[in-house]
Amino acid sequence: MSAIGGIIIFVLGIGAGLGAAVGIVILVKRLTEPLRRANKHLETSAWNDRLEFESRKAFHAGYVRGYRKGRDNPLSDVERLAATLEEHNIDFRTGSTRKRRDG
């Protein structure tokens, strides 16, 4: 066999190997596509379920805490506001009562 024949066989062998490699990659991608789609769906579904669970848990905890706090403090909203303002030394007419006392 001549040198040119050897080169042609070598090039054909490289081409066949590359073609087989590309074919295998395409085949693997096609066969694993349903698994990837199912995995993505499960990830999304699990995330949505977790988010919904945590949201409901936080709402329930906040609702219960607020309800109990309201039951513990039966003052009206205006009375609670007045108590808060008095607690923080706030006077609407002149600002902070600390400033008024210092001046």
CA 10 to chain centre: 54
pTM of the model: 0.40
Domain range enclosing 42: 1-59
Asked if residue 66 belongs to a domain, the reply is: no
Q: Bigger pLDDT: 71 or 18?
A: 18
Convert the pLDDT of each residue in 19-77 to its tens digit: 999 999 999 999 999 999 999 998 889 888 999 999 989 888 888 887 777 666 667 77
**Domain tally, the chain:** 2
Q: Which helix (H) or strand (E) holds 73?
A: none
pLDDT the model gives residue 71: 66
Across the range 87-93, mean pLDDT stands at: 77
Same domain, 6 and 53: yes
Same domain, 55 and 10: yes
Helix (H) and strand (E) counts in the chain = 3, 2
